[in-house]
Amino acid sequence: MAELYDGENYEEDTQHGRYLTFTIEENVYGIPIRFVTEIIGIQGITKVPETPDYIKGVTNLRGKIIPLIDVRLKFGREEIPYDERTCIVVVDVVDVSVGLIVDRVDDVLTIEDNRIALPPESRLGFENRYIEGIGRAEDGVQLLLNIEKLLQHDEMDMIEKMSEADPTALN
């Protein structure tokens, strides 16, 4: 268990090494659980004009506007219809909530640091720039994403503006 030092006391980081895993096509990805606030089913999406195609729009989640990014499209994959397995993983990045639309959520895994390898230097895959490491847990391999790289600076500005919209406008 990793320990954190707050200036006076040490405390255990109970979320260290824990990843929420999800699937896009045949690949399993993981994001650090500390960024995840909730997982919800797909719901009504209000399109926002003049945004990249992978920004599907916004949704009103209990009075809060959540911008939605389709991870499949962000990775340059073919768009598919959403179904009952499609989920929205709500994450908080730099104090902004964003919904990541994924094919399906799999599990929460603990992956020890010694079971994580650095990603290959190759840039063959479109999503490789977002991969922080390759984890080995349970029966498979998980591509561990750097959530802050996934949401680049210019996108975060657009997303932050979208999340500040009046939620009553979506009703």
Q: What is the pLDDT of residues 62-106, one digit of tens each?
A: 999 999 999 999 999 999 999 999 999 999 987 889 999 999 999
What is the sign of the dihedral through the CA atoms of 133, 139, 42 and 63? negative
8 Å CB contact between 150 and 74: yes
CB contact set of 117 (below 8 Å; sequence gap of 6+): 133, 134, 135, 136
Distance from C-alpha of 101 to C-alpha of 111, rounded to nearest angstrom? 23
Amino acid sitting at position 16: H
Could you report the per-residue pLDDT of 5-61, keeping only the tens digit for each? 455 554 456 788 899 999 999 899 999 999 999 999 999 999 988 888 999 999 999
pTM listed for this prediction = 0.81
Question: Which pLDDT does position 10 carry in this prediction?
Answer: 47
Instruction: Report the length, in residues, of the chain.
Output: 171
Question: Which pLDDT does position 138 carry in this prediction?
Answer: 72
Average pLDDT in the 136-147 region?
87
Amino acid sitting at position 118: L
The encoded tokens of residue 113 equal 């640091």
Mind listing the domains of the chain with CATH numbers? Answer: 13-165 (2.40.50.180)
CB contact set of 121 (below 8 Å; sequence gap of 6+): none
pLDDT category, 120, cuts 50, 70, 90? Answer: confident
